[in-house]
Amino acid sequence: MSLNSTQELPATSLDQLFAKLGSEKRAALIGFMPAGFPTQEGCIEIIKAMIDGGVDAVEIGFPYSDPVMDGPVIQAASEQSLRQGTKARDVMEIVGAVSSLAPTLIMTYWNPIERYGVEKFVSDLVSQGGSGTITPDLTVEESAQWIESTNDHGANRVFVVALSTSPDRLVRVAEASTGFIYAASLMGVTGTRTSMSAGARDLVERIRAVTSKPVAVGLGVSTPEQAREVASYADGVIVGSAFIKAIAESASHEEALHRVKELAQSLSAAIKEEAMNR
């Protein structure tokens, strides 16, 4: 089976979301939250607050002990989750609790998937209503089993491209991805930034030159101004560290829920304003 083959599959809720927002010429707001942070139940409530505030789709991070792509904010949240005993079944439970409210993906390094069992991971994800998985450290050269399993279960598989990705690799990643392509906006790790990388727009243009699939930009988006800027050239705006910071800086869970919803509202409003002004 070719690594680049993407057989015709039933549309997931994520596919449907991008089709709907594409017809409206609006970018999707995608919110990230590590599973089990600040607690298992608290995480579910936080994600629901994000969705209530205007987040269109959700990434649930699978806490991992060696998160090479994650910045200090996400690392600290993941470490707290692991210390509290978050397991793979807890990640799947959170997917099941929120997937009826918004398209839901798991973002995870490959090692936890392998430990869980590739086929079982995809099967359990889909059974919980999940749309797919983002795998930042899985290369297309090593993804034959992953492609087969996600095709078999009708799940999206999202690969990550960076500013340094070569033209040939860009084509291969774009062909192997379904749902959307994750464009890492800068060289480095996740985290809030005061300004967006000038290379992010160029990277999206390079991706668009080889595919018509949706492109979402992450790493560094944290303010309404940045969200508005990214929404002007990408199909999705991914925000993670800013939500986690809002929780970490809150004096209570109630305050965290309020701040998370408020942040989602401001980001969503900026994206919708950009669409209206086109």
Which residues are known catalytic residues? Answer: 59, 70
Task: Please report which residue ranges of the chain form alpha helices under DSSP H.
Answer: 13-23, 40-53, 72-83, 88-98, 110-116, 118-127, 144-153, 167-176, 199-208, 224-231, 241-248, 253-276
The backbone region for 55, taken as left when phi is positive above 0, alpha when psi lies in -120 to 50, beta otherwise, is beta
CB 222 within 8 Å of CB 242: yes
Token pair for residue 188? 């480095």
Residues 204 and 206: their CA atoms lie apart, in Å, by 5
- How far, CA to CA in Å, does 1 sit from each of 42, 45, 177, 197? 42, 42, 15, 37
- How far, CA to CA in Å, does 58 sit from each of 13, 131, 202? 12, 10, 25
CB 128 within 8 Å of CB 78: no
